[in-house]
Structures are given as C-alpha cells and as structure tokens.
Structure 1
Amino acid sequence: MIVNASGGAIGTMDKMAAHRSGTLHRAFSVFIFNSKGQLLLQQRALDKYHSGGLWTNTCCSHPRLGESTSDAAHRRLQEEMGINCELTELFQFSYRHEFENGLIENEYDHVFMGISDELPLPNPDEVGDFRYIDTDLLLFELLEQPNKYTPWFKICLEQVLEMYYKVV
C-alpha cells in the first residue's frame, strides 16, 4: 500500500517495486517481550532481499492488499515466528534507508508490541536464528556493534522500550 507522509493510503504497488523505486509504503514491526522483560530478537535469514543475517525485532513485513495492519502483524508473527499473542499498536514512524544492493526502504511503519512466553517456532525461510535478550545488554550491544542490527530496529527501539516500561 502506497501512503502519503501522514500514513494515508493513496495507491497500491508491488512490494519489490516500492523497494526498487523508494516509494513510501506501509509496513509494520512487531516487538515481543517475555514475562522476564526480555525482547525476542530474530536474525534475518541470510538470503533475505535485504539485511540478511542482521538482528532485528521479532518480526516485520507489509500488509497485503485489503488487509488491516493489525491483522497483518498477527499473521506474520505466526508465519515468521510461530507465535500467536495479543498485540497492541504503540506508534507509527517513517524512515528511509538505501541499501548497498540498490533497494530502498521508505516506510511508514506501524509498531506493535506483545507479551508472550510461547516458544518460537521460526520459519527458516524468514529467520536464521532467534534469541531473548535483556534490554540493558541489547542497548550495550547496539552501542558496541551497531552494524549487526537493522536500520529500522535501531531507529524505533528506544521509543518501544520507553512505552514497554510504562505498560509493565
């Protein structure tokens, strides 16, 4: 779904066409915490179209035509990580990043959060690995090794953590 700067739908375009042209489009990111307050990270599969092998939030993707962003977030959480749980939309933000392979992320990203102790069953086509991490250690790793993480994750993590600590 192509969107304007306020996130309003203005048209449709194939996901890869949007990534090749750098057209602003709708996306979502899901952050799942366990009952210990650890964040579930995934390492993107090595053969993903961009950011392969990088660590990021629990899952992310794009809604299908006619699919609500909330429904898409639930669907992809199940497809990528094998988890079903309640999700709450926290906020939206826009970002743009150009990758070395010529693809461009120009996304209006809806950020969701959930809490679950369900054991992930990751889809190997999407996920190379996963881990739970204490947020203090994660923030330290981001300072020490920022190139191991996706661009969008580094942009929105601080705001996610602020909102998480207000909720729990």
Structure 2
Amino acid sequence: MNQDQTPELKFKPVGSRPRGVGGWLAFFVIGQLVLRPLRTWNELNDPRNLVTPLFETNFPTTANIIGVERALIIGLTAFGIVVGLSLWKVRTPFSAKLTKIFLVVNPIIFLLSAVAFKFSDLPPKAQNEVMQHGLFETGVLTAVCLVWFLYFTKSERVRATYYDEGDSLVLR
C-alpha cells in the first residue's frame, strides 16, 4: 500500500454514493405527498379556522383575505404534491430545480399572506396579533425551507439521483 493511500480509501467500494429516493430525500418526499396534505386538510377543516356568515358580514375584507389565503395554501399543497411526485418518479435535474423553486416560493407566499392582514378591516389590536402570528410562521417556514434548499444544493444523494456528474446544483 502506498503511503498516500489510507485503508479507508483503499477499501471504499466504487459507486458507493447514496442514490435513489432514500434517507432525508425520502423524508422530504413523504412530507410533500402525505404529511403536508394531511396538515392542510386538518387546518382547513378546523372549526376555529372557518369563516362564519356573521364574521363575513362584520369583516368582509378580512373574510376575502382569508379566502385568498386558503386558496393559496391549497395551491402550495398541490405544488408540493407535484414536487413530491416529480422527485419520486422523474429522475432528472428538472425535479431538483422544481423543488428549489417550491422552497423559494413558499416563504414568499406566506410573507405576502401575513402582510395582507395589514389591509384587513379587523380592529388594530387583532390586526397586529394576526400579523405577528403570520410573520412568526413565515420565519419558521423560511428557516425550514432554507435548510431544505441547502440540502437540495449540497446533498450527494440529490446529486447522484437527479444530476449527471457534469451538471451544477445551482438554481438555473
């Protein structure tokens, strides 16, 4: 054995990089295909989140904002399902790029949704509470999306599964 070679390098099998939908990648895919839709379904059907006719009469602008917010949440969930299916079934760089777009769009939509309540017809105190809650959720979501974005940028598994050796992992 050459002095420059370590036993670790000598016995490492060729092509041993993680490949395929497994590990953290599988966790992300399951999250988009199963966990997020279940969470969305639960949120949208929670009686505390329903807009009643009385609420709609008293706060019509806020009711409209909530309606748009619900539509956006459903749209983002559908986008997440498309991303999950793409990662699971389509083994091309497009799948990883679509995922990165999804991870950038999510916090932007949540931020816009939180800021929209500034234009609601809620009393100022309630308006501030709703906005603070929305901004906190946006901060948490941004951190989570950033971690996943870095995973899809740096992961050996993602590189081996979705990219050819010569392709870059940057968002193009």
TM range (shorter): under 0.3
Q: Indicate the structure with greater strand content.
A: 1
Normalized against structure 1, the TM-score is what?
A: 0.23
Please, what TM-score do these two structures have when normalized by structure 2? 0.23
Q: Could you say which structure has the higher helix fraction? A: 2
Larger Rg: 2
